[in-house]
Structure 1
Amino acid sequence: MRAPRECGSWFWDLDEVAAPGLESALVVASRMADVLGRHELLTPHRLEYDWYVLDSGGIGITTNLALTVPLGDPRLPERVLNSRPSGFPNAEVDDVHVVGVGVWNDAEGKPHREPRLVDLSVSPAPVGLSAEVSVHHDIWGWFDFSGRPHPDVHQHNAPRLAAALQDINSMLGVKGEPGEVTYFGFATELGIGTPDTLDDGSGPDVTDKL
């Protein structure tokens, strides 16, 4: 199951290592997606982004762009800008979300493909480039969403996420910061934290919010 909020996220402030702007954001997104792809966590299929007008705010329009060229293709920024809503010629691209599928492994180690297993977004904001990775499934934690321990599932998936986050840190030269705690979990430096265990050995049951 996929939670409506993330159970863990990581944020990279790239102001000192990458220029702001759409072209730079897509380059960073491509490099991060390559790392996630090596760990079979993300194969990009499309981009999703909102639009805003400077000094006015969001315009309430979201664009989905199929990735018919690689993320690192130099023609991609122009394709994104050419998708600007015709009624808003001054609109700028807000956060760019890289949408795709990833592979998770069950308790027996059998792989399964899952849409939006890992979410990747990059902000091209003129005040400074930043990026975020988030996860919404219970396979990364010691407990599933109903509070039952699933150590085999955890062992088949959590180390892959940790390795990918470490590789992203090394590639960017910036250490990702764990994001905010949500009802569904919290991030540690390289994974999902384990909540306090109840007397019967179970964890929190969060299925009421799924």
Structure 2
Amino acid sequence: MITSNPVGDWTWEVTPGAEKVRPVRAAETAIAVWNVLAAHELAIPRGRVNVSARAVGDRRDVLLAVDGVSLEPQPLSPETALSRAMSQVDSLEGDLLVGVRIECPGCWLESGVKHRAEKLFVLQVDIWKSSLLVVTLETYSDAWLTMDTRDREQPEVYAENAPRLATALEEISALFGAAPTPGDPNRHATPTETGFEDPMVEGFSYDDSWGTFEVAARSRLLRSRIPTSEDEYQEITDHPVRYFTIQRGGQTLGYIWASIGDEAAGYEPRTAAGESAFEAGAEWLLRLRAAHSQGLSALAALSWAAQSPPRPDGGLVVEETPQEAPSLDALEELSGRY
């Protein structure tokens, strides 16, 4: 399953020595780690980079923020967007917290088939007061576990993916000359220096952590993009649902749905599509609100929204007639798995 909150994380702290560390070191380090991930297809083109500089005394004091820079093939060559951003940071004075954050698309395997997630890993490199360099790597997939985050055994998936992660972590540790500090146990899993504890032996902290926490987290992320309103359909149902697939440029972004047995309707973002899934979902939720304000039933709203889609950036309906899922949980499963 693909998550919107990390399944686990690892941190390396590097103290370079007496010399001050220039801001560009954050970008150079991030690219070096990216290259390790890329060697195992845990990162693939093209990542998106955010660069920030804050005052150490007050981290709310943002001195510079450059978001959404494309990680080009030679990202620090002269005149690239990332190179220009790092030059801007270099011109700042004072005690700074310099950050470089990369959202890494990557591939995980199932039965030899590659599946792409737009945010398989997130890499954060921070430089504190030109003297301490901190690298944090987060993963947003459970492909490295013997059991997925819905408590189902997946030995084949684990065998295809966990060794890739273990090798990458070992190579990153070799890069820094030190093993990572694994992140704390969380609702999904317990990280170790080379991957994760085996949940078949240790067990999970929560049953079906994906269904318990991730569905609610995705809903909050989605609804944070639109104004609050009481003029909308119910969000949950115990009945089967009909749905349409939403795509843009050949990529599935999510699924708009309506209950067969009551007045529930909504949108399930395809988590693997990343931010685009949530941006599109906000547009489709607003269309459902418009249908609700007209007094349409949930099923009628589904048909109306399919025939009256939002602006093109929101994606388009693929099917001529809706598909059917036996439950909303089954549709949520589909949206979170691939």
Q: Normalising by structure 2, what TM-score?
A: 0.53
Aligned equivalent of 1:3? 3
Deviation at 1:167, TM superposition (A): 0.9
Deviation at 1:129, TM superposition (A): 0.7
Matches within 5 A, 1:88-167: 94-106=98-110, 108-126=111-129, 127-167=131-171
SS at match of 1:117: strand
Unpaired runs of at least 5, structure 1: none
The 1-side partners of 2:52 and 2:6 are apart by 20
Identity %: 24
SS at match of 1:113: strand
SS at match of 1:139: coil
Aligned equivalent of 2:186? 182
The 2-side partners of 1:56 and 1:150 are apart by 45
| Greater Cα offset, 141-150 or 62-71 | 62-71
Deviation at 1:8, TM superposition (A): 1.4
Aligned equivalent of 1:33? 34
SS at match of 1:156: helix
- The question of whether the paired residues in 2 share the 8 Å contact of 1:4 and 1:136 is answered with yes
- The question of whether the paired residues in 1 share the 8 Å contact of 2:66 and 2:85 is answered with no
Corresponding residue to 2:49 among 47, 50, 55: 47
The 1-side partners of 2:202 and 2:32 are apart by 41
Matches within 5 A, 1:41-80: 41-43=42-44, 44-59=46-61, 63-68=67-72, 70-73=74-77, 78-80=83-85
Aligned residues: 203
The 2-side partners of 1:75 and 1:122 are apart by 22
Q: What letter matches 1:142 in structure 2?
A: T
The 2-side partners of 1:52 and 1:16 are apart by 21
Deviations 1:126-177 (A, max 9, x none): 2401101111211111111110111111111001000111111112212111
- The question of whether the paired residues in 2 share the 8 Å contact of 1:29 and 1:71 is answered with no
SS at match of 1:116: strand
Measured at CA, do residues 52 and 109 of structure 1 come closer, stay the same or move farther in structure 2, by a change above 3 Å? same
Q: Normalising by structure 1, what TM-score?
A: 0.82
Measured at CA, do residues 140 and 22 of structure 1 come closer, stay the same or move farther in structure 2, by a change above 3 Å? same
SS at match of 1:48: strand
| Greater Cα offset, 42-51 or 75-84 | 75-84
Measured at CA, do residues 20 and 67 of structure 1 come closer, stay the same or move farther in structure 2, by a change above 3 Å? same
Deviation at 1:75, TM superposition (A): 5.3
Deviation at 1:104, TM superposition (A): 0.7
Matched, 1:204 2:207: yes
Unpaired runs of at least 5, structure 2: 215-338
Deviation at 1:13, TM superposition (A): 0.6
CA-based RMSD: 3.0
SS at match of 1:140: coil
Aligned equivalent of 2:325? none
Deviation at 1:34, TM superposition (A): 0.8
- The structure with more helix, counted as a fraction of residues: 2
The 1-side partners of 2:103 and 2:77 are apart by 17
Measured at CA, do residues 19 and 32 of structure 1 come closer, stay the same or move farther in structure 2, by a change above 3 Å? farther
Structure number, greater radius of gyration? 2
